[in-house]
Structure 1
Amino acid sequence: MRLRFKPNAIPEMKENDRVFFYPRDMKGKWHEIFANDNPIHLEIGAGKGDFIIEKAKANPNINFIALEMNTNAFVIASRKIIEQELTNVIGLVDYAEELTDTFDENEIDHIYINFSTPWPKTKHHKRRLSHPRFLERYEKIIKSNGIIEQKTDDLSFFENSLKYYEDFGMEVLESNFDLPEEKSIVTEYERKWRDRQKPIYYAKTKFK
């Protein structure tokens, strides 16, 4: 369901000191922003923030950056960061295509790609967040032992993603074609599919 346009979303988030818009001048400085040397985990396509908020609450010694371009959804995430006083979460309004302008080499420890748009038409496959075009960007900003985790409800997209990882020379540490609920942070979006008995597909990978 398309979210209703929120005309005050951008002004509201610009008043939030935990949200940054296109911060090119912070490349290589994210540990300074968090004021610690804890690992940095990045979620690409954070939506309303359900996943990253739960992750941050459970892992106070990890820094989390939630990246999202849909400000109608992300304003909800920004409110949760403030309401729950999460000092280990930063919101980032930016494009995934611009990751190498936002993060330095080896600056990220872990990447999450949750329920991203599957782009089913062949001519749109290069827009997929697991496509080699994006894997090239991830490889530049993630540490050598860094992990990428993906969840999706789209089987074709998932199978194609596993092939992308293989072709890119990555190691697939785990692949699950029916991720148990107890092993997942179940967001509002994921709950919708689970209630319909639709399997959730999961992969955990790393660059060799």
Structure 2
Amino acid sequence: MRLRNVPGARETIIESYFSIQEPKTYRGKWEEEFGNKNPIHIEVGMGKGRFILEMAERNPEINYIGIEKYSSVLVRAVEKTEEFEGKNLRLIRMDAEEIEEVFAPGEVGRIYLNFSDPWPKDRHAKRRLTSTRFLERYHHILAPEGRVIFKTDNRDLFDFSLEQIKEAGWILENCTYDLHNSEFNEGNVMTEYEEKFSAKGNPICRLTAFRHDL
């Protein structure tokens, strides 16, 4: 995926109150950064931030951390925070592969994966955020009752994800191939992509999964 450079993006991100510049220094200490012991929920690949900002506004008793790899995308989320008055949100520019270096074991209560890059070529399967490789990383940072919630309009990626969950020894808590016409749509917060794809008539797939140590 080739992204257009946004002049001044890095500077804008650095200057934001919500932006964390050295996230690895907070590993195991996020409650100190937020100033409370509220649950931590993260979104991996937050894009332009619509989802996580609305979640933070709806749930002030939960601390939210958005992760995005590209400055040219993250800066759009930073711009949206200008009207956000809460204190329960932080944004990080980082690669998801480093997630275990940023969060300690059991530190995260929920992980949201929304419309992740499908990496359609077979040789890139390990890069998919629902691959067994990433599920293992999530397992290390999730609390015992933690959950991963995944949404996509890409049926091939969704089917791949279901296979990976089984292979990784995770438990599928719930699953739907048409979120907006299911019982799980109540309270659903749409992302920019979700609104775009659903407007075209694309059904949205969603699953929730967890893993208990045996």
TM-score, normalized by length of structure 1?
Answer: 0.96
Q: Could you tell me which runs of 5 or more consecutive residues in structure 2 were left unpaired when the two chains were aligned.
A: none
Q: Could you tell me which runs of 5 or more consecutive residues in structure 1 were left unpaired when the two chains were aligned.
A: none
Matched, 1:205 2:206: no
Look up the match of 1:109.
109
Deviation at 1:2, TM superposition (A): 6.3
Tell me how far apart the structure 2 counterparts of residues 31 and 187 of structure 1 sit (CA, whole Å). Answer: 27
Deviation at 1:71, TM superposition (A): 1.1
Which of residues 186, 192, 198 in structure 2 aligns to 1:194?
198
Deviations 1:53-102, CA, capped at 9 Å, x for gaps: 11111101000000001111111111222321221110011110001111
Look up the match of 2:42.
42
Look up the match of 2:167.
167
Tell me how far apart the structure 1 counterparts of residues 22 and 67 of structure 2 sit (CA, whole Å). Answer: 10
Deviation at 1:22, TM superposition (A): 4.4
Residue type of the partner of 1:202? R
Tell me how far apart the structure 1 counterparts of residues 209 and 130 of structure 2 sit (CA, whole Å). Answer: 11
Look up the match of 2:57.
57
Residue type of the partner of 1:197? G
Deviation at 1:4, TM superposition (A): 3.5
The runs of 4+ residues in structure 1 deviating greater than 3 Å are 1-4
Query: RMSD over aligned Cα, in angstroms?
Result: 1.4
Deviation at 1:156, TM superposition (A): 0.7
Aligned length: 208
Deviations 1:120-140, CA, capped at 9 Å, x for gaps: 111000000000111111011
Deviation at 1:17, TM superposition (A): 2.4
